[in-house]
Amino acid sequence: MTDLPIPNMYTLPVLRRVSTIQGGNSSGKFIAVGIDFGTTYSGVSWAFSENPDTIHEIQGWPAEYHNDQIQEQVPTQFDIESEKWGFEVTPDMNPMKWFKLLLLKEDDVVREEILDSEPLKDARAQLRGHNAPTATSIVGRYLGKLWQHTYSELKSRLDIDNLPLRVAITVPAIWPPYAHKAMRDAAEIAGILGERDIGTTTLDLVQEPEAAGLSILFERGKLPEIESGESFVVCDAGGGTVDVISYTVESTNPFKVKECVKGDGKLSGAFQIDEAFEAHMKWKTRLKISSLDKAEHNIFVKEDWEMGAKRTFTGSQVPEKFFLRPPAKAFKKLDRLRGKDSFSLSREEMKSFFFKSLTGIRSLVSDQVSQVESETGRPPKRILLVGGLGNSSYIYSVLHHLYQDKVLRPLRPWSAVARGAVIRLLRDKISTQTNLTEVQRTILASMPEVTARKSRYSYGILVDRRIKNLKDFDIVVDVEKTSPEGDKITSRMNWYLRKGEEVKKRSPVTFPYSQYSKGPASKKCIFIIKYSTANIPPKRVDKTVFELCRIECDWDKPFEEWKVVGDPDKGWRRYDDLILAMKFEGEPKWKVRVGSNQVERDVNVEYMD
């Protein structure tokens, strides 16, 4: 029997379907589109490959009130009944919010203690009932509206019908693979990957903190230089999630960085601040908030809280109080008779609203700083604070004081993540082209490139091992079988990439293996990739191991030419020349070789029934 791993071929799971996203053109002009799909706000940036140093933001959003159109971001809200979205939603509507979080399983949300949050409870309630849409379809319908507007804006500026599209959607660093799959499905529903005469539109998923880091580093000509060998932490604080990631600079010309330590994240975004404010309004004021109708409540919260006290709070001694003015009927009768038309929030009360979110941010940044210092022997030179919540003067001032003037913010914080996604697309796609213009060569050298990343999960396949070679065979938990070659075997996980390990962009992890077949083999070589969420992946399949995707490739020779093994009368043959190679660019990218046949593709995560 060969010493190469043999995939477990006895209990292959049934697939619902398999789909892959093919590459598309690797040369020529194209448009790069970055979509920052956020929990509370979303934004889109784009650039033309011939002018990669100029990145634009999509604006002119459809709106009920025209003064909202100039915003760089649009609210992530969707009214199922009217199909209104973003700024089209009027105060009297009950739009679905936070539906991005519905792409996570309840167990993952429970761990973050936000399952009972009102917007999330309301969103889940709207998905129940007769003919209720799925979470993925709601995300797809919202993204469809976002994409229609984006496409229309692009078409008004460029001959877009004759230009390929390269699209990236950003996702939180903490999102598991099944949520990536849901996001890809939503993009298909949205029409982002619709057929175009010019060729297939490609889709990449880019981690939000990486995109944010690329954006602020691309601005580094306007910021204090970070030298080769120095490290920095990126903290992307948004409406729902807070993600942290760290990089070490490998070279500055060309500009290359590698992930220093494995990133982390929490659901500790701005929604926690809003929840604390709403709870204060309900339980600690004399106001009759329940007397307000939906429109009155929504207008008050948006104008006085969201655009007022929340965004202007700095934590400084001045002002001592923030005054908010809800509709008159929110006051009790006696208060109205006394002419009361506002209520105040003290500086300490404002700080209490920020406390839970700020605690999460500080914890994430502190842990990341400690890990960087442990890994490199010195603390990070800079902490780059981005995202909508990262734009808060109070959050910035606390971190700025805590880390002794190391904290920097981007020049355009609201669009940093979407712009970073565009930079990633431009860098990856242009670098594969030939006949670059002088402008492209110059810009390419200045664009930060992530050369190595840390794996978020362990990846492997289930293989059969000879029992006589195992020192830890357990007759109680291990199932004994007999291989076609007569050996006593049992199934074990073979992990070819472990959580936290570094994977270089141009150095794929390779993994040889063999496969048995009895009788004429199928036309395709098929195997199943699994992943584990455990910090130390298990030897056997347990509750931390999940099925990720299947990969297939044509055999390069007929079954009759395979090596005969075991008893010839039983008809077993073995194929040895199989190799799997995996690159890691935020998402795994696979190459399979079956003898002389080779196929390389971006594999769309597909789950088994």
Instruction: Judge if 29-210+416-431 and 224-405 fold alike in CATH terms.
Output: yes
Instruction: Report the alpha-carbon distance of residue 124 to residue 108 in Å, rounded.
Output: 15
DSSP state string for 161-181: GGS-EEEEEEE-TT--HHHHH
Query: Which CA distances in Å does 199 have to 27, 164, 167, 188, 422?
Result: 12, 6, 13, 16, 19
Identify the pLDDT of residue 225: 66
pLDDT digits (tens, 9 = 90+) for 444-494: 888 888 888 888 899 988 989 999 999 899 988 999 999 998 999 999 999
Do 457 and 450 meet the contact criterion of CB atoms below 8 Å apart?
Answer: no
Topology of the domain comprising 29-210+416-431: Nucleotidyltransferase; domain 5 (3.30.420)
Identify the pLDDT of residue 18: 35
> Which residues touch 114 (CB under 8 Å, ≥6 apart)?
101, 120, 267, 271, 272
Instruction: Report the alpha-carbon distance of residue 594 to residue 580 in Å, rounded.
Output: 9
Q: What are phi and psi of 598, to 5 degrees?
A: -145, 140
Instruction: Return the closest-CA partner of residue 591 out of 554, 534, 562, 551.
Output: 551
Instruction: Report the alpha-carbon distance of residue 21 to residue 32 in Å, rounded.
Output: 17
Query: Which CA distances in Å does 112 have to 115, 118, 589?
Result: 8, 15, 30
Q: What single DSSP character describes residue 356?
A: H
Instruction: Tokens 């006949």: give the residue.
Output: 435
pLDDT digits (tens, 9 = 90+) for 223-235: 556 788 899 999 9
Q: What are phi and psi of 98, to 5 degrees?
A: 60, 20
CA 510 to chain centre: 25
Domain boundaries, the chain: 6-19+454-603, 29-210+416-431, 224-405
Please give the structure tokens belonging to residue 109. 């949300």
Identify the pLDDT of residue 287: 85
Query: Which CA distances in Å does 400 have to 244, 312, 353?
Result: 16, 17, 19
Give the residue ranges of the chain where pLDDT is below 50. Answer: 1-2, 9-27, 222, 601-605, 607-609
Instruction: Report the alpha-carbon distance of residue 462 to residue 489 in Å, rounded.
Output: 13
Q: Where are the beta strands (DSSP E) in 22-80?
A: 31-36, 41-48, 56-57, 74-75, 77-78
Instruction: Return the closest-CA partner of residue 349 out of 410, 285, 444, 254.
Output: 285
Identify the pLDDT of residue 516: 86
Instruction: Report the alpha-carbon distance of residue 70 to residue 466 in Å, rounded.
Output: 66
Do 532 and 457 meet the contact criterion of CB atoms below 8 Å apart?
Answer: yes
> Which residues touch 281 (CB under 8 Å, ≥6 apart)?
287, 289
Identify the pLDDT of residue 531: 92
Please state at what angle helix 416-430 crosses helix 208-218, rounded to 10 degrees. Answer: 80
The DSSP H or E segment spanning 590 is: strand 588-594
Length reported for the chain: 609
Angle at 540 between CA 570 and CA 606, to 5 degrees: 80
Alpha-carbon Rg for the chain in angstroms:
27
Alpha helix (H) residue ranges in 251-391 = 271-283, 294-300, 311-312, 333-337, 347-376
> Which residues touch 528 (CB under 8 Å, ≥6 apart)?
7, 12, 13, 461, 462, 547, 548, 549, 550, 608
Please give the structure tokens belonging to residue 455. 């794996």
CATH code linked to domain 224-405: 3.30.420.40
Please give the structure tokens belonging to residue 609. 């029934």
